Structure 1
Amino acid sequence: MTATAPKEADGGEAEGRRPSLSRWLIFGAAALAALVLALAILTTTSDKDDKAIDVPATGSADAGFARDMAVHHQQAVEMAYVVRDRTTDEDVRRLAYDIAQTQANQRGMLLGWLDLWGLPKTSADGYMAWMQGGGHMDHEVKDGSLMPGMATNTELDRLGKLKGRQAEIFYLQLMYDHHMGGVGMARACAQQCEVPLEKKFAQGMAEAQQSEMQLMTDLLKERAATPRK
């Protein structure tokens, strides 16, 4: 269960008590450090015979998923910060806060794996080249949308200009699309990745994001709107 933002009192939250961006970043940075440290300890102590850690190849699904999902998650965190300042709705702000914390933590873990494996965080083969069946070919990289589900720069600019109900609806629609793309990538890793811990992580991610997609659908329905896809 992820951390949630403080609840509003008397139907509204005093401006001075709203979680600031710096507070979110500090909380997220501390959580990331703890997760990476825990992962390092788990990885280095789990091998009782002190054998070398099995390192995936740089072009493997394990490495590719870690690289690409870290980028995918970063945009989700950025969108959460944007909508946080565009609405005072408690439900949407709480969802955004939860997504920001969860995906920032997961991003730290993904990058931590790459560090432990001694693999580069970027690939000369481009995004999603690790997916079998050429799934990456279905997405045209343009205007900041690097992978399926990612918002374009134009869409991010629009989100930053909307307020209130309009911002809520557009954010929920963007995040629904974002999760849809993320679920597809996570399912591919669950099938193709070979590191047991990463396979389990990807499967759990797919299930959690599907649950959040249902919540987004419900929040959109309350606002007389629907997902775009």
Structure 2
Amino acid sequence: MARRPVFLAAAALLVAALTAVALAPWSRTGFPREGSPEVRFVREMTQHHAQAVDMATRIRDRSRDQTLRALALDIMLSQQEQIGQMRGWLTLWGQPWGGPGMTAEHARMMGMATPAELEQLSTLPVPEAERLFLQLMIRHHQGALAMVEPALAPGIRPEVQTLARQIQATQGGEINLMTRLLAARNAQPLPAPPAAGDTHEH
């Protein structure tokens, strides 16, 4: 019977040791603070994603092109899921969702559409709206690829880096698809956003 307390004590020590190892990064660095690269990236990418979901919803409600509708749905679902993930991190880190985001000028540099461009997706004839959607979303994705670069730098939390790599892979592939869909409509992409020319400037 004496072995049971010894076993339990050893098990408790093992659990404590494993917990200490698991929590070591948290105790060393703590949660990201206001103004940190992680908090800034998460807030700005949430803002960026929210517009992509809006654009995709607008065109999916109008288009009858099955490939375009499937693409729009993929964008809606994947980016809504990532928004939820990023907001969960902000909550865990003790940071408000609605802190400082991108200014209008910064948003344009990151490929975001203007209110007038968004309105055109809902008002132009459907074929023209489809072309505009592809042009705007390619530019939007190019901005996102620029935004992920700082999140891949050394010292950034690993979960944030993982999300940045996911965005990089997914949106890079979607740019290729949208470029082909645009070419099939005898149209060309818009000029890349300013941020795409210098992916290390924030």
TM range, smaller chain: 0.7 to 0.9
Aligned match for 2:44, one of 68, 72, 91: 68
Instruction: Please list the CA deviations of residues 67-92 of structure 1 after superposition, one character each: whole Å capped at 9, or x if unmatched.
Output: 11011100100111100122101011
Q: Which runs of 5+ in 2 are unaligned?
A: 1-17, 192-202
| Cα RMSD, aligned residues only | 2.0
Instruction: Please list the CA deviations of residues 144-195 of structure 1 after superposition, one character each: whole Å capped at 9, or x if unmatched.
Output: x566111000101111102322111000001001101111101221126621
1:114 and 2:90 are equivalent in the alignment? yes
- Greater helix fraction, Structure 1 or Structure 2: 2
Q: Which moved more, 1:82-91 or 1:157-166?
A: 157-166
User: 2:33, 2:93 within 8 Å by CA — same for their partners in 1?
Assistant: no
Partner of 2:32: 56
1:203 and 2:165 are equivalent in the alignment? yes
Aligned match for 1:127, one of 102, 119, 131: 102
Partner of 2:61: 85
Partner of 2:178: 216
Q: Please give the TM-score of this superposition, normalised by the length of structure 2.
A: 0.77
CA pair 160-200 structure 1, distance change in 2 beyond 3 A: same
Aligned match for 1:176, one of 115, 138, 142: 138
Instruction: Please list the CA deviations of residues 61-114 of structure 1 after superposition, one character each: whole Å capped at 9, or x if unmatched.
Output: 111101110111001001111001221010111100000000000011011100
Counterparts of 1:67 and 1:222, CA distance in 2: 35
CA pair 204-75 structure 1, distance change in 2 beyond 3 A: same
Paired amino acid for 2:43:
R
CA pair 48-163 structure 1, distance change in 2 beyond 3 A: farther
Counterparts of 2:155 and 2:90, CA distance in 1: 14
Q: Please give the TM-score of this superposition, normalised by the length of structure 1.
A: 0.68
Q: CA deviation at 1:223?
A: 0.5
User: 2:111, 2:143 within 8 Å by CA — same for their partners in 1?
Assistant: yes
> Which of the two has higher C-alpha Rg?
2
Counterparts of 1:118 and 1:97, CA distance in 2: 32
**Partner of 1:94: helix, strand, or coil?**
helix
Q: CA deviation at 1:122?
A: 3.4
The percent identity for this pair of structures is 39
**Partner of 2:147: helix, strand, or coil?**
helix
Q: Give the aligned length.
A: 169
Partner of 1:149: 111
Paired amino acid for 1:48:
T
User: 1:114, 1:121 within 8 Å by CA — same for their partners in 2?
Assistant: yes
